[in-house]
Amino acid sequence: MDSRISARALAQALGGWRGRGPAYEALADGIRLLCLDNRIAPRTALPAERELAAALTLSRTTVAATYRSLRDSGHIESLRGSGSVTLPLRRNDPGADDRRDGVIDLQQASPPAWPGLPAAISEVAQDAAALVSRTGYDVVGDPHLRETIAQRYRDRGMPTRADQILVTTGAQSALHLIASVLLSRADRVLIETPTYPHGADAFRAAGARLVGVPVSPDDGWDLDRAAQTFARVLPALAYLMPDFQNPTGRTMSPGEVDAFVDGSQRAGTFLVLDETTSELDIDRRTTGTAFPDFDRVIRVGSLGKTVWGGLRVGWVRAHADVVRRLASGRPVHDLGTPEFEQAVAARLIGRLDEISAQRADVLRGGRDALVAALASSFPEWEVPSVNGGVSLWVGIGEPVSTPLVMNARARGLLLSAGSRFAVDGGHDRRLRIPFTAAPHTLERAVSVLRAAWEDVRGTTAGAALDDLTAVV
């Protein structure tokens, strides 16, 4: 047994787990989903039945039935004297690495690799002798790549020097580095909700306390909540995705930008702007949200969404003093970004306009096909209109996102429930559906989703009564 999750932490992670069926099975599905998303690692000890029952205000009988269901499905095992622990995914489980053919995986909102990437990799491979002559240990990044990235920012109208750039092993590595260097335990972090879940994970891992500011596809950012958070909490850091926010697809208006800039300057807050989706413009044809540049603005970018998720190159653009602080703290995490990937990235940064145009064509086809399929199959759902990004944040009308995702998973369609993107629970009436797959795949996914929806909503009145009788 490697770790333990408390009843309180499990209750928080579950969010709105209740579905239409019996409470014990809805709770079991919620825990299964946490395991499949790897939010509960294998060999993690679950809370005792009595503790979890108290945390969720359920009867112990309901929790006992939940654990029995999880044992029957092979997700946990119960050992006398040791309680119940989660098990690794079975190899025939749709969530395992070796998935069966025919599974549609829409958990990863990332388009396929840019078609020109193999040629760029081949060109770099021809210069292998020059690459291996370097030490390979550089916590700041290759000077040529840093200058190339700086030039990209200058082209966007932001004067930038190479010493303001630090190259990382992807954007997630950058966020972990920022969190570990700039935050102290119990510092407050203002964060959007819903948000990119791995971003939230990075700040939680540093011991920060997250304070959510709502954002929605229709209404944008809750500026009143943001102003209150800046004034009352004085967050050390604010994490925002201003362009094509993941998962809502919303982009900040000039007024929203001004509000966050004003609040952060008054509170002395670092503004961390996640720009990993800013190049994924389908309709606007603009250069991104115009955040002003000042000492406490930190921009994070990467090639994961624009070029290929397997090209693990990201970067931080910040004041030179902040870059030096980050570089000093980096050896605790890693000793630099691989030289080969940096060389590939250096060849691609200057072609990002060309790459983004190709991505726009791919994403437009997926988005339009998904919107049309959802409108036809789910006229009762709220399908937002987005101008770019990778996904739709769909309103499904009822708080059944988790059971819907579990039902779809059993049918070979992998999605992430709305609660996965919540900071403090909620979003169970929402579903993130990426449009990064091929149109025909998305159309097939919607057909599977329709069958799952009818199944989830088709629970009998008797089953609903079972749900009520199981709750204390």
List the domain boundaries for the chain. 3-91, 104-114+354-459, 121-351
Q: Is 15 left (phi over 0), alpha (psi -120 to 50) or beta?
A: left
**Beta carbons of 235 and 229 less than 8 angstroms apart:** yes
**Average pLDDT for 328-335:** 94
| pLDDT surpasses 90 at 386 | yes
Structure letter (DSSP) for residue 287: -
Mean local confidence (pLDDT), 66-84 = 86
Pick the CATH number of 104-114+354-459 from 3.90.1150.10, 2.60.40.2380, 3.90.1310.10, 1.10.340.30: 3.90.1150.10
Tokens coding 139: 């916590």
Half-sphere exposure of 221 (CA within 13 A, CB side): 28
pLDDT score at 285? 60
Q: How far apart are CA 119 and CA 176, in angstroms?
A: 32
pLDDT higher at 29 or 455: 455
- In 3D space, the residue among 123, 120, 402, 393 whose CA is nearest the CA of residue 245 turns out to be 393
Q: Which residues is 221 bridged to in the sheet? A: 215
Half-sphere exposure of 437 (CA within 13 A, CB side): 21
pLDDT at site 2: 62
In angstroms, what CA-CA distances link 448 with 187, 350, 441?
43, 41, 11
pLDDT band at 25 (very low <50, low <70, confident <90, very high): confident
Which of 98-102, 188-192, 324-328, 462-466 is least confident? 462-466
Stretch 314-326: mean pLDDT: 97
Q: Find out whether 245 and 251 touch, Cβ atoms under 8 Å.
A: yes
Distance from C-alpha of 181 to C-alpha of 203, rounded to nearest angstrom: 11
Query: Residue 299: which of 462, 214, 426, 178 has the closest Cα?
Result: 178
- The rounded mean pLDDT for the chain is 89
Q: Which residue has the higher pLDDT, 81 or 255?
A: 255
Q: What percent of the chain has pLDDT over 90?
A: 73
What is the model's pLDDT at position 130?
A: 83
| pLDDT for the residue 339 | 94
Q: Say if residue 99's pLDDT is above 50.
A: no
To which H or E segment does residue 316 belong?
A: strand 314-317
How large is the average pLDDT for residues 93-113? 70
Q: What are phi and psi of 112, to 5 degrees?
A: -65, 165
Residue type at 3?
S
**Residues 359, 361: Cα–Cα separation, whole Å:** 5
Q: Choose between 286 and 269: higher pLDDT.
A: 269
What was the pLDDT predicted at 462?
Answer: 32
3-state secondary structure of 213: strand
Least trusted range by pLDDT, from 219-223, 247-251, 454-458: 454-458
> What average pLDDT does this structure show over 159-170?
97
Asked if the model's pLDDT at residue 49 lies above 50, the reply is yes
CA pair distance 469, 472, nearest whole angstrom: 7
Note the Cα 297 to chain centre separation in Å.
21
- Residue 206 near residue 215 (C-beta atoms within 8 A): no
Average confidence (pLDDT) over 299-303: 97
Indicate the residue type of 423: V
pLDDT at 219: 94
CA distance 427 to 400: 10
Stated pTM of the model: 0.84
The topology under which CATH files domain 121-351 is Aspartate Aminotransferase; domain 2 (3.40.640)
CATH number for region 3-91: 1.10.10.10
**282-291 per-position pLDDT tens digit:** 986 655 667 8
Characterize the bridge pairing of strands 314-317 and 220-221: unpaired
- Report the pLDDT value the prediction gives residue 169, as an integer from 0 to 100: 95
Tokens found for residue 53: 């029952």
